[in-house]
Amino acid sequence: MIEQSSGQSWIGSDRMRRAIAGDYAPRAHVTLLQKDTRLAVEAAAAAGFIGPLGPAARDVFARAAAAGLGDLDDAALLRLLSEPGR
């Protein structure tokens, strides 16, 4: 449904297909995106902007890295978020 709506994006389609298939071969490592989201949140705060989505993304990437998923592709976030209690 999303792919046929205005919410469609290449990155969403690519990652979701791979995440559902269990393909976590690294293309965009969790650790790289953990660093990038942290830096983006810090830059936004320095510019005076505090929004809810950046910190939420930063925290999910940090949880994924702490759970041992750092060397996997960011598609592994689906695995993390699908676990009971997550």
Tokens of 73: 């592709």
Q: What confidence category does residue 11 fall into, taking pLDDT thresholds of 50, 70 and 90?
A: confident
What is the predicted pLDDT for the residue at 86?
62
Q: Structural domain boundaries of the chain?
A: 2-82
- Distance from C-alpha of 72 to C-alpha of 54, rounded to nearest angstrom: 21
Pick the CATH number of 2-82 from 3.40.640.10, 3.90.1150.10, 1.10.1040.10, 1.10.10.10: 1.10.1040.10
Q: What is the pLDDT of residues 19-73, one digit of tens each?
A: 889 999 998 899 999 999 999 999 999 999 989 999 999 999 999 999 999 999 9
What's the mean pLDDT in 9-21?
84
Nearest to 64, CA basis, from 12, 72, 15: 72
If you search the block for the tokens 């205005």, which residue do you land on?
6
pTM: 0.82
What is the predicted pLDDT for the residue at 48?
97
What is the predicted pLDDT for the residue at 17?
86
